[in-house]
Amino acid sequence: MNEKEKMIAGLNYNPSDAELMYDRTHIKTMCQKYNQISPKEYETRKNTLKKMLGKVGEHILIEPNFFCDYGYNIEVGEHFYANHNLVILDCAKVKFGDNVMIGPNCGFYTAGHPIDPADRKAGIEFAKPITVGNNVWFGGNICVMPGVTIGDNTVIGAGSVVTKDITANVVAVGNPCKPVKNL
């Protein structure tokens, strides 16, 4: 199994692998180009995202600046909107359902590093997928950590750090993020 296969399978992998380094350089170059497209050129922006990401719905808008690690591990449903400064570290799959809205300065991080200092020093990483349901709204300045699933119709309040799964039909806030209201 090569390092890319290990990464996608959720196993420990070496991100310094030549293929992974190439993939990251390629998508970061595409992100740089995407971030320079005029807001007036909606179709160009949408078509560029279709080339960058693994799966994209028809109605999608990600405001610049947008950054990701690989692109091919990101799936976005219909009617997706992300405000400025979205970061997706997609070493594992990041899947967004339909009708998802993301406020500014949000990050979705599948990448993790071992607790053992020797493994960290060796440059080993792991990744766990993130899954977001339908009709989910994220306020600004939110971090979603590796392995998290967020259920349908949920609202995540601004400034939250989501470290564990959040069920459907709730408002959740805080650090760590916890449900505070049923919808």
113 classed as catalytic: yes
DSSP H helical ranges for the chain: 3-9, 18-34, 42-52, 117-121
Catalytic-labelled residue, pool 26, 59, 84, 113: 113
Q: Which residues lie closer than 8 Å to 100 by C-beta, 6 or more apart?
A: 76, 77, 79, 80, 81, 132, 134, 135, 136, 137, 138
SS3 state at 137: strand
Catalytic residue numbers read 113
